Amino acid sequence: MDIEPIPLRIAIAGLGNVAQGVLELLRENGSVMATRAGRAIEVAVIASRSRRDVDLLGAEFTTDVLSLTRRQDVDLIVELMGGEGLALELVAQSLAAGRATVTANKAILATHGNRLFDLATQSRAPFGIEASVAGGIPIIAALTRATAASELNCVAGIINGTCNYILSAMSDQGESFESALVKAQALGYAEADPRFDVGGIDAAHKLTILASLAFGVPFDKAAVFTEGITDVTVDDITYARELGYRIKLLGIARRTAAGIEARVHPTLVPQDVMLASVAGVMNAVEVRGNAVSSLLFCGPGAGGKATASAVLADIIAIARGESPSRFSAGTKSCARVPMDLVSTAAYLRIPVIDQPGVFARIATILSEHGISIEGAIQRERAIADRKVPIVVVTQPVPEETMNRALAGLQALTAVVGEIRRIRVEHFDA
C-alpha cells in the first residue's frame, strides 16, 4: 500500500497510563501502523493538567485542554483524561466542530452517549469508542461491524478485571474479599477507593454501551440493575463449587419478548461454561445472535498497552477514511424490562437453627411460590451456636416472585441471619 505523504496529526488529552501506552506503541510500531493506515500517525500536541517525565515523541505540550479544539494543525482529538467534566466538554466541542474524535471514556458514553452520537451524526464527525469497553478486546467492532448481519439477542460477560481478579483469588487461594482487595490494590488492579469497581458501577457503564450498540436502544445507565461483589464470601464460592458453579461478576444484556433486560451482578456460572474459566484480570464477552450463534471474545480488559491498542485501532480506521463506531437508535421503540420481571435461577444460603423440619419448611415456602429446587446442600452438624447453613439452587422464576419467597423465608423463626441470594445463569442455547 502506498503511504500518503501527509500524516494524520493527532492531539491527545491526558497523560496517564493509556496515553503513555499510545505513545509507546507509536514509538514501537509506528511504521507498521503507517502501512496499515495508509499514512503516518503523528502526535502534534499533548494536553494535560501536569507535565510528566515521558517521551512525547516531539509533540508540543500544553495545560490548556480545550485549546485542542481550536488547533488548525490537528486532524483528530483523542480524549484519555477520564472523568466527566472537562473530558465531556472536550469531546462534545470536538464533535460539534466536526473533528474526528476518539475516546476511551466509558463514563461519558454511558451517561451522555445519546448527545455525543447526535453531535457526531449532525457534524458527520468520525467517532471512535473501541477502548471504552474491555480494553484490548475488539468488542465494539464486533457489535457494530463483524455481527452487523445478525440480529443479536444476548451480550454478556466479565467486563471488570478488578472484580474478576478478586473473585479468582477468593476461589483459587481461599482469600477473603478484604484480603483479595488489598492484594488487588497492591498490584495496581484496584484503586485506593475501589467502590467504583467492586460496587459494579464500572461494569454498568460498560454494559450500557454494549446494550446500546447491540440492540439499538438509547444509552441509559439508569436502566441497568447494578449489584457489586462486596457481600460474596469464601463460603459462597465453596458452596457454589460443590454445586458445580463458579461465581463471576457478569454484565448481561438480553433481548426478550418483553423488551431489553440489562443487569450487572454476581452470578453463579456452570463450571463447563467458557466464561467460568476466565480468571484473574482477564475480560471475556459472549455475543449471541441468529446468524452467529455464539461468539466469545477474551483478552486483557485493562492496562495501558491493551487499551492503547484499541485507541490506535480507531485512529487507524479513521486514517483509512472509515467511521469506526456507529450508533443509531432503533426505528421502533423497545421497552426496558424492570428487574422485578427478569427471570433467573437463584443460589440461596439460608442460616438456620439446627433443628428437625427446617429444610421441609423452607421447601414448602418455595413451593408455595412456585419455585422448584434444583440442588441443595444441608450440613449434618451445626458450625457454631447451633447455626447451620442450608444452601439451595432454584429453578428460574421472576425476580418479584423470588423476592416474595425470600420475605417468607426470612420471617421463619428458625432463620437466624440474613439470607444471601446470588443469581444463576446457565447460558442455555
Going from N- to C-terminal start, the domains of the chain cover: 4-132, 139-301, 341-424
Helix, strand and coil in the chain, % to nearest 5: 40, 25, 35
How much is the pLDDT for 1?
A: 56
Q: Please measure the distance between the N-terminal and C-terminal CA atoms of the chain and give it in whole angstroms.
A: 43
Determine which one of 106, 206, 221, 248 is catalytic.
Answer: 206
* pLDDT of the residue at 429: 44
For domain 139-301, the question of CATH label 2.120.10.90 is answered with no
Which cell numbers in the block locate residue 285? Answer: 464477552
The Cα–Cα gap between 285 and 143 comes to 11
Q: Which residue has the cell 481461599?
A: 174
Select from 3, 77, 11, 75 the least CA-distant residue to 39. Answer: 3
Give the rounded distance of the alpha carbon of 217 from its chain centre. 17
The three-point CA angle 190-195-201 to 5° equals: 100
Q: Can you give the pLDDT at residue 265? A: 98
Report residues of the chain scoring pLDDT below 50.
331, 429
Which one, of 171, 161, 116, lies nearest residue 137 by Cα? 161
Query: What angle is formed at CA 102 by the lines to CA 98 and CA 105, rounded to 5 degrees?
Result: 120
pTM of the model: 0.94
Please give the grid coordinates belonging to residue 180.
483479595
* Distance, CA of 152 to CA of 296 (rounded, Å): 14
CATH 3.30.1490.100 fits 4-132, yes or no: no
89-119: pLDDT as tens digits: 999 999 999 999 999 999 999 999 999 999 9
The answer to whether residue 183 is catalytic is no
**Predicted local confidence at residue 179, as pLDDT:** 96
- The answer to whether 314 touches 77, Cβ cutoff 8 Å, is no
Mean pLDDT of the chain: 93
Note the CATH number of domain 341-424. Answer: 3.30.70.260
* pLDDT at position 333: 60
| Phi/psi of residue 396, nearest 5 degrees | -65, 140
Provide the pLDDT for residue 254: 96
Residue ranges of E strands in 129-258 = 152-158, 225-226, 245-256
| Predicted local distance difference test score (pLDDT) of residue 331 | 42
* pLDDT per residue as tens digits for the range 174-215: 999 999 999 999 988 888 889 999 999 999 999 999 999 999
In angstroms, the CA 362 to CA 344 distance is 19
Task: Give the sign of the dihedral formed by CA 72, CA 78, CA 80, CA 85.
Answer: positive
Answer for the pair 210, 139: CB distance below 8 angstroms, yes or no.
yes
